[in-house]
Amino acid sequence: MATISRTYHNVGLGQLILAASFVVWLLFFPETATKFAWPIAPPLSAMFLGTSFILRAFQGYHMWRAQNWYRLRWIRWGTYGFLAVIFSGTFWHVHEMNWGTNIIVAHIWVLAYIAEPLILPFIEPRDSAANSPVPAEIKLGPILPGLQNTLMIIIFVSATLGGLMFINPEFMDTRWSWSLAPFDARIMAAFLVGVVLWAAKMKLSEDWIEIRMGIQGFALYASVLFLVWGLAMFRGQIDLGRENVWTYGIGTAVMAGLLIYYYQKQESAAKKIQASKMTTSA
């Protein structure tokens, strides 16, 4: 089994603390987001980013606590994609950051997203076991076709939205459910690009044990996106005259439902496989 270093665990803890702080600030106090590392406006963009950092906090927790690399391998591709886009978006708009009004948070943001992509390649497991097949004794079964198809839908939708947000945020502003500033859109794109590559890695995995944690994270992310949209609708924060307001809400609800449904299906199949192994060994 691949060895996970203490340094890797510590980076996960740091990611958890930083991401959780951003969740609290941006999701629960979005009206103050103009004082963030850069002025995020409108509050709906801050709430989207706050929700998205839940996924990063989820990953950071498991990087900190997990002992089994097979359960973490799905994180690698998407993390590098996320970091590459967030690094590019930050440096593209670095002149717009709150250097004069909140220089501490601005520096924390820039330094964090310079350090992480430079450190990670040197601390991830690189021994011969890192990419080896899952041992037969801990396998939980193949990934169901329905879940494979769901991951393909996630890849397609997230790649389209993330690409447009990063390359042409002005166009996306005319099609999105709320007004988008270019800086906000490019940071939002980082999460969508990450989702594309996390989902792609999961789709290419062979066993449920390798992606179980990832599907948990995706289901949590889609569910909270839907709940935040519903709360914003209830509070009248979303302009119904904007494009794709209902598409956004229905899309996140359907995706959350599919992920939860197939998670339960995979868990049921895994229990049968485990029971069969116990019977055979007996």
Residue bearing the bigger pLDDT, 111 or 136 = 111
Domain range for 162 is 6-277
- pTM reported for the whole predicted model: 0.95
Q: What is the tens place of the pLDDT at every residue in 14-28?
A: 999 999 999 999 999
Answer yes or no: is pLDDT of 119 > 80.
yes
Q: Is residue 230 part of a domain?
A: yes
> Is 173 domain-assigned?
yes
For residue 225, give the H/E element and its range. Answer: helix 208-234
Number of H helices, E strands in the chain: 9, 0
Residue 95, domain member (yes or no): yes
- The pair of three-digit structure tokens given for residue 270, joined into one six-digit string: 């895994």
184 within domain boundaries: yes
First to last CA, the chain: 26
Q: How confident is the model at residue 280 (pLDDT cuts 50, 70, 90)?
A: low
For 31-54, write each residue's pLDDT tens digit.
Answer: 999 999 999 999 999 999 999 999
Q: Is 1 part of a structural domain of the chain?
A: no
Residue 204 falls within a domain, yes or no? yes
Instruction: Report how many domains make up the chain.
Output: 1
**Sign, Cα dihedral of 122, 123, 129, 131:** negative
Assign 3-class secondary structure to 171-209: HHHHHCCCCCCHHHHHHHHHHHHHHHHHHHHHHCCCCHH
pLDDT tens digits, 148-181: 999 999 999 999 999 999 999 999 999 999 999 9
pLDDT digits (tens, 9 = 90+) for 184-213: 999 999 999 999 999 999 999 999 999 999
pLDDT of residue 282: 55
In a domain, 56, yes or no: yes
Residue 282 counted as domain residue: no
DSSP state of 142: P
